[in-house]
């Protein structure tokens, strides 16, 4: 089956090796007999809510993020419509921030976001940097670890009742205090974790592929044939070990 991926602003938001995440999705889809078709959605391009099965928004440097923020906010209605239709979505770092209500700078300025995720981000005075380990439970009863690297000055505050992507085991997470990392809203996931995230966390790549396939026409997320994933497991082990050495939540 063909999985249609919309990659938002790849020319602007690509700082933390976002193409690594796309490469992982493409290969894991191909190994199961599916084809990933990746299209760039750039500045000024129309976002057709039905045109994609998976949307990807990466992270950028502050300057690039400021250049695309108004355009992303203008795509808010289309993003909401796509989300309601069940599109799978992964937003990382800057993309995660910009899909919330907005970003409040240290000078008091406010950069509005797309308002999909129920959160707001406030600039902090220090950067939160290092390896992170999370525990996620995207499907009831299925607890899984997630290892990545965070580097952000923004503190993202989830609204009451909003669901995080995972619980922080080691690292800072959204704000360094709540013990929450990322945000999950149906099939949409937002996170600060890069590394990139998917190569060392293949279960999450497959979760996203499953949701994308469901959107593409299978109805329910299909069971994907398991892959050996030996190197993936080793890369996860080393990354999780780095986070563990870093110590508990600070």
Partner 1 sequence: MGLRLALETTTARALGGLSRAAGRGGGTTIPGKVLWKLDPEAVDLLAARLTEGVAVVSATNGKTTTTAMAAEILGERQSLAWNRAGANLMSGLASALVDARRAEFGLFEVDEAALPEAVTRLRPRVVALGNLFRDQLDRYGELELVAERWRTMVGALPPETTLVVNADDAVVADLADGRAAAIRFGLDDPTHARTRLQHAADSKYCLRCGHPYDFAAAYLGHLGDYRCPNCGHARPPLDLAVRNIELRGLHASRFQIDAASGQVEIELALPGLYNVYNAAAAAGLALASGASLEDVRSGLARFSAAFGRFERIPAGGKSVVLLLVKNPAGANEVVRTLETGIPPVLVVALNDAIADGQDVSWIWDVDFEPLLEHAQLVIVSGSRAAELGLRMTYGGLPADRLEVEPSLERALDRGLGLVEAGTELVVLPTYTAMLELRKVLTDRGAVRPYWEGRS
Catalytic residues: 93, 194
Q: Is 97 in the site for partner 1 (CB under 8 A)?
A: no
Measured at the CA of 69, the angle between CA 64 and CA 70, to 5 degrees, comes to 130
Q: Is 106 in the site for partner 1 (CB under 8 A)?
A: no
Terminus-to-terminus CA distance in the chain, angstroms? Answer: 44
Q: Which two tokens stand for residue 4?
A: 């249609």
Q: In the set 53, 91, 239, 240, which binds partner 1 (CB under 8 A)? A: 239
Q: What is the dihedral of CA 213, 141, 137, 120, to 10 degrees?
A: 100
Q: Residues binding partner 1: what is the number (CB under 8 A)?
A: 34
Helix (H) or strand (E) holding 6: strand 2-8
Stretch that binds partner 1, among 129-137, 163-171, 184-192, 217-225 (CB under 8 A): 129-137
User: Minimum CB separation from partner 1 for residue 21, in Å?
Assistant: 9
Three-state secondary structure call for residue 135: strand
Residue 164 half-sphere exposure toward CB, CA atoms < 13 A: 20
**215/108 Cα distance (integer angstroms):** 40
Q: What are the distances in angstroms from CA 113 to CA 63, 101, 204, 240?
A: 15, 5, 25, 32
Q: Is 144 in the site for partner 1 (CB under 8 A)?
A: no
Assess contact for 121 and 155: CB atoms under 8 A.
Answer: yes
Q: Is 23 in the site for partner 1 (CB under 8 A)?
A: yes
Please list every residue from 171 through 210 that binds partner 1, using CB under 8 A.
194-196, 199-200
Q: In the set 1, 17, 81, 111, which binds partner 1 (CB under 8 A)? A: 17
Closest by CA to 165, choosing from 229, 108, 143, is: 143
User: Minimum CB separation from partner 1 for residue 242, in Å?
Assistant: 7
Instruction: Return the number of the residue (35 or 159) whose C-beta is nearest partner 1.
Output: 35
Q: In the set 45, 64, 137, 163, which binds partner 1 (CB under 8 A)? A: 64
Q: Which two tokens stand for residue 15?
A: 């700082």
Instruction: Return the number of the residue (26 or 165) whose C-beta is nearest partner 1.
Output: 26
Please list every residue from 32 through 61 that binds partner 1, using CB under 8 A.
61
Q: In this structure, are strands 88-92 and 54-57 parallel, antiparallel, or unpaired?
A: parallel
Instruction: Return the number of the residue (187 or 191) whose C-beta is nearest partner 1.
Output: 191
User: Minimum CB separation from partner 1 for residue 167, in Å?
Assistant: 22
Instruction: Return the number of the residue (61 or 218) whose C-beta is nearest partner 1.
Output: 61
Binding site for partner 1 (CB under 8 A): 11, 14-17, 19-20, 23-24, 27, 61-64, 67, 127, 129-131, 149, 151, 194-196, 199-200, 231-232, 234-235, 237-239, 242
């Amino acid at each position: 089956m063909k999985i249609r991926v919309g990659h938002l602003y790849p020319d602007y938001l690509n700082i933390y090796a976002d193409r690594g995440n796309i490469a992982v999705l493409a290969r894991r889809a191909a190994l199961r007999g599916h084809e990933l078709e990746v299209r760039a959605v750039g500045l000024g391009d129309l976002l057709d809510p039905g045109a994609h099965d998976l949307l990807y928004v990466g992270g950028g440097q502050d300057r690039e993020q400021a250049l695309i923020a108004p355009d992303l906010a203008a795509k808010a209605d289309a993003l909401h419509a796509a989300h309601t239709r069940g599109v799978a979505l992964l937003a990382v770092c800057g993309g995660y921030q910009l899909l919330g209500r907005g970003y409040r700078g240290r000078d008091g300025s406010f950069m509005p976001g797309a308002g999909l995720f129920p959160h707001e981000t406030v600039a902090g005075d220090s950067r939160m940097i290092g390896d992170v380990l999370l525990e996620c439970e995207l499907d009831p009863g299925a607890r899984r670890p997630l290892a990545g690297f965070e580097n952000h000055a923004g503190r993202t505050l989830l609204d009451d009742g909003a669901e995080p992507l995972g619980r922080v085991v080691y690292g800072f997470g959204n704000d360094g205090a709540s013990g929450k990392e990322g945000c999950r809203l149906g099939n949409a996931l937002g996170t600060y974790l890069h590394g990139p995230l998917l190569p060392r966390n293949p279960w999450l790549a497959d979760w996203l592929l499953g949701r994308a396939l469901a959107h593409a026409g299978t109805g329910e997320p299909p069971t994907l044939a398991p892959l050996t994933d030996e190197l993936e497991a080793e890369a996860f082990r080393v990354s999780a070990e780095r986070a563990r050495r870093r110590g508990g939540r600070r």
